[in-house]
Structure 1
């Protein structure tokens, strides 16, 4: 290990908030959550990042900020909620017991009516660029370390580059239309931030085209892959940090979203064949998902929850999806739209915890069955990428390369493991692949983005409370508004259509 001591995952490092940094942070260079300090005991950025210990602490803090941004309710439920995989639970206690309402944090987004002036996702936008800025600062200072070897520096740079690419990729999914929305992906992508204030000073950047955005994401990932060593920068399970294998897996996902079918296929196959990771077995599938302490066999990257000195978790996905008692449970459960896609003998049909909850039906409380996912009970980590996705990427890419035998082969790898009926016909194979992604990756933040890149309309039936339940493709509402406060501070930052 590179670290000289253990750095707890809950370390947060935040800068001193000078006025100009606050203003620019609202644009995209947020410095919050990077160097936490007490008044009168301030540590300069230069001093902190002048040693390997300081840089490693900063890297650890960056992972913590990244985990918080994707685990937070808005992003964690977004793709499955918008796509129709999840609905809401009744209020468990109090005068409104049994009533079902839309959680206020996602109310506007859920109805495709988010507002730029007070957007539901403003915090995700700011926090994502905070992650990016933290990674940039590490990259700025790491080469000057005098107490780290070249191998150690390369590993730190590789992880920081991977974090930067991943954060930009997630922003592109939320704020930019799919790659095929315009010819050559010439429509708006996102601001791609590769410098810090200390390097570039005050700048007011414009959004890249989506094609340029993907070029920059891929460039960062390829640079990272050229730098990885066989060491880890931080202590802990290898799956909890970026490494060569999971960075290649993220690259396969990027290629898929770019419609670069050849590279998507080859990269996914490379991960399958060389990562040393195997699919979780049919026998252990349910039990491994339910064990939130030991990583699943097939996990390539998971972001661990922060814990205090006593080992208690500061928060996890179970806050949204978990069931503890009939008076304490999360807001989100599976829709019948999703449940109906599983064959009765498919082991994934057992991935739901059925609970009878008091529900207001026409003014009377009645017990109604709800289905909580077993994936995120107790204190689970965030499953950023696992091997099953690589098989599904290989299948979809092969289909688009007219390699239907390969497409069926990799699709059926997942179905065999699930004890589901094999697919033998190429009729409607594209739909079969999309539905298999929906079944296998449910609750993991993919389906709405899958629909968008496949240019499919949204249909939400069971449990939909939105003002607008369905959305016909194409629509400007497949993306969210850039927060208006950022637009106000940067005249070069162009707003998305309709906002």
Structure 2
């Protein structure tokens, strides 16, 4: 396997490793060496291998292998989940005592920009791809990943996008040019505004939709890009656009809800998923004492039992709802046994659903309700509830609150929690403990935005740190 690694210790921790023949391992090359990436990506086959390597990056424990799913849940733990583990980086996030040297905040930043740079290298190398259909597909896939990573970064490291506002608050650096040498990596990159980042994300996804095929195996298709764009528009409170894209995906993607929610997580590449992180028993984030099953599971010798599901949240499911204690939630039998756990992550090598059709139904339902179409909104909510045996809602029971609660019940532990609370302006409820009365933690708090990593602000004087760090 060939690997290219070119990184300046001075800027953004942009690792440039490209697995061109295999994605299973990477060589550790002296960071002061550099190999011309353009020379390596000099034919169609190598570019294709680089695209495969780009997807493999998404399984990194700092990305969807763990942190992009776990961290948004930990940042809104109260009355929902409790972190019982010993990792100080996660304890800080759960307690909202994070500092600029938090290793998780640094790891997400670094891994996301590495994935972005790999996408940029692929786009830069497209002239060597002679097959027109592959050239279009590879560009679409690279733009999809670049958009996805910028979107994840701006949601975590910047204040929430405000519909109708100027959104001039600082976002994250936009990386749109491939870095191939240490000299290029030394270019200081400032933070773009939140508006600029969202504009670029939408531009990349719009182009990806036009470039990607309608079906692309386990990789991103045009409908995957549409689904992600629906998620982006929802975060902006652009409900009309979000609802329209979700409707398109539901009607035309060929996807269908799986028979049970559990089967989405226990089966590979189910009928419901639009994007899954591909893992197996040999290659998964759990082999390095990370991974979602490592933190969520407590099954015999499997899992650390770090994430407890609190009874107050579990009680919202109802006695017949298979998403709750009637099925998917279970009492742990391994480490830290005796309390409720989520059954979504129970084996190290399972695939990780990142985008699935149920989310599109929930987006369409919320958009329909906000537009005054209560009948359609109710039908979509009950599709989700019926799948899990939950008691259907009536029109009299339908409200924005019940729709948002259904999102929490269906998408719990999947990386949505803090993002939904931010976009809806919902403060975090902290229940009473001992002599401490119940309180609320403001969702607009600076402590709910991750710090720009210290190593980045230390070497890049154009990076302005977030307030409070």
Structure 1 contact 175–480 (Cα < 8 Å) conserved: yes
What is the correspondence of 1:125-144 to structure 2 with a 5 Å cutoff? 125-144=109-128
Residue 23 (structure 2) aligns with: none
Distance 1:424 1:77 in 2: 33
Shift of 1:444: 0.6
Change (3 A) 1:180 1:327: closer
What does residue 94 of structure 1 align with?
none
Aligned to 1:98: none
What SS does structure 2 have at the residue aligned with 1:395? helix
Partners of 1:485 and 1:178 in 2: CA distance? 24
Measure how far apart 1:30 and its partner are. 3.2
Residues 1:167 and 2:160 aligned together: no
- 8 Å contact kept, 1:88–1:463: no
Q: What residue number does 2:138 align with?
A: 156
Q: Is the 8 A contact 1:155 1:231 kept in 2?
A: no
Q: Distance between the aligned counterparts of 1:38 and 1:81, measured in 2?
A: 32
Higher RCO by CA contacts (8 Å cutoff, separation 6 or greater): 1
Residue 229 (structure 2) pairs with residue 251 (structure 1): yes
Matched, 1:418 2:400: no
Tell me, in whole angstroms, the C-alpha distance in 2 between the residues paired with 1:55 and 1:133: 14
Distance (Å, rounded) in 1 between the aligned partners of 2:241 and 2:303:
46
Alignment pair present for 1:224 and 2:211? no
**1:330: how far off?**
3.4
Distance between the aligned counterparts of 1:296 and 1:231, measured in 2?
14
State the alpha-carbon separation in 2 of the partners of residues 141 and 290 from structure 1: 36
Report what 1:123 is aligned to.
107
User: Aligned with 2:255: secondary structure?
Assistant: coil
| Unmatched 5+ stretches in structure 2 | 21-25
Contact 2:172/2:191, CA 8 A, preserved across alignment: yes
Question: Where in structure 1 are there 5+ consecutive unaligned residues?
Answer: 1-10, 90-100, 233-237, 360-367
Could you state the TM-score of these two structures normalised by the residue count of structure 1?
0.82
Query: 2:210, 2:222 within 8 Å by CA — same for their partners in 1?
Result: no
Residues 208/327 of structure 1: CA separation in 2 closer, same or farther (3 Å cut): closer
What is the Cα-based RMSD across aligned positions, in Å? 3.1
State how 1:371-390 maps to structure 2 within 5 Å.
371-378=340-347, 379-390=349-360
Aligned to 2:420: 450
Query: How far does the alpha carbon of each residue in 1:333-384 deviate from its partner, in whole angstroms, 9 at most, with x for none?
Result: 312132011110112121012235686xxxxxxxx62222221112222211
- Aligned pair 1:50/2:20, yes or no? no
Question: Paired residue for 2:254?
Answer: 276
Paired residue for 1:319, among 294, 297, 302?
294
Q: Which residue of 329, 351, 363 corresponds with 2:328?
A: 351
Does the 8 A contact of 2:305 with 2:334 survive in 1? Answer: no
The 8 Å contact of residues 205 and 492 in structure 1, kept in 2 or not, is answered as yes
Shift of 1:80: 2.0
- Give, in angstroms, the shift of residue 217 of structure 1: 0.2
Evaluate the alpha carbon distance shift between residue 38 and residue 483 of structure 1 in structure 2; reply closer, same or farther with a 3 A threshold. closer
User: 1:42 & 1:180 partners in 2: Cα distance?
Assistant: 42
Deviations 1:167-187 (A, max 9, x none): 111111111121128823232
Quick one: distance in 2 between partners of 1:189 and 1:404? 36
> Which residue matches 2:75?
82
**Per-residue deviation at 1:231?**
6.7
| Aligned: 1:24 with 2:11 | yes
Q: Assess if the C-alpha contact under 8 Å between 1:190 and 1:209 holds in 2.
A: yes
State the number of aligned residues. Answer: 450
Deviates more, 1:400-409 or 1:108-117: 400-409
Residues 408, 424 of structure 1: 8 Å contact kept: yes
| Residue 333 of structure 1 pairs with residue 308 of structure 2 | yes
1:370 and 2:371 matched: no
1:295 aligns with 2:269: yes
Taking the aligned partners of 1:137 and 1:382, their CA distance within structure 2 comes to 26
Moved more, 261-270 or 207-216: 207-216
SS at match of 2:330: strand
Aligned equivalents of 1:459, 1:144: Cα separation in 2: 54
1:16 to partner: Cα distance: 4.1
Q: Report the Cα distance in structure 2 between the residues aligned to 1:123 and 1:343, rounded to whole angstroms.
A: 38
Q: Which residue pairs with 1:63 in the alignment? A: 55
